[in-house]
Amino acid sequence: MERERRSLSVRCNMLARRFAHCNKEVKITLFKAYCQSLYTCSLWVNYTRKAYSGLRVHYNNAFRLLMGLSWRCSASGMFAEAGVDSFGAIMRKRSASMLRRVRASANTILGALTDSFDSPIMEHWIRMHTVK
C-alpha cells in the first residue's frame, strides 16, 4: 500500500503540473485514467487502518490538487459534483469484481478460496461491503 501511495502522489503531481491550465473535464478524465488504477488493491487483505486511511487521504488530496480545490472542501461533495468515484467506492468495486472473477473461475483452488466464509479473501470482501 505504501508503494501505491507514493506512486499515486507522483502521478498526481505530474498531472497537476502538466495540465494545470486544462479545463475541468480534461482533468477529471486524466484523474480517472491515472489516479484510480490502485494496482492490485483487490488483493490487499492484511493492512492497517492507518495505511488505508493514509492512501485514502492521498487520493482525496490528489483530486483537490489537480482540480485546484481548497484543502478544506468536503471529499464526498467534490467527488459527487465531479461524478468521480470516491476511494471507498473504488475499493469496493475492485474487491467485488475480483471476487466475481474468482468465483466464476473453473480453477478448483481458486474456488476453494471463496467457498468458505472464513477465508482471508471472503473476510476482506465482507469487511469491505458491510456498513460500519
Contacts 24+ apart (CB under 8 A), 20-29: 20/68, 24/67, 24/82, 27/66, 27/67, 28/67, 28/82, 28/83, 28/84
- The domain total for the chain is 1
pLDDT per residue of the chain (132 residues) written in tens, 0 to 9: 888 888 889 999 999 999 999 999 999 999 999 988 887 776 676 777 888 888 899 999 999 999 999 988 999 999 999 999 999 898 888 878 888 888 888 998 887 777 777 777 777 777 766 655
The model's pTM: 0.79
Residue for cell digits 456498513?
131
Range of the domain at 58: 2-129
109 within 8 A of 103, measured Cβ to Cβ:
no
> Counting beta carbons within 10 angstroms of the beta carbon of residue 95, is it exposed (0 to 12), middle (13 to 18) or buried (19 or more)?
buried
Residue for cell digits 466464509?
117
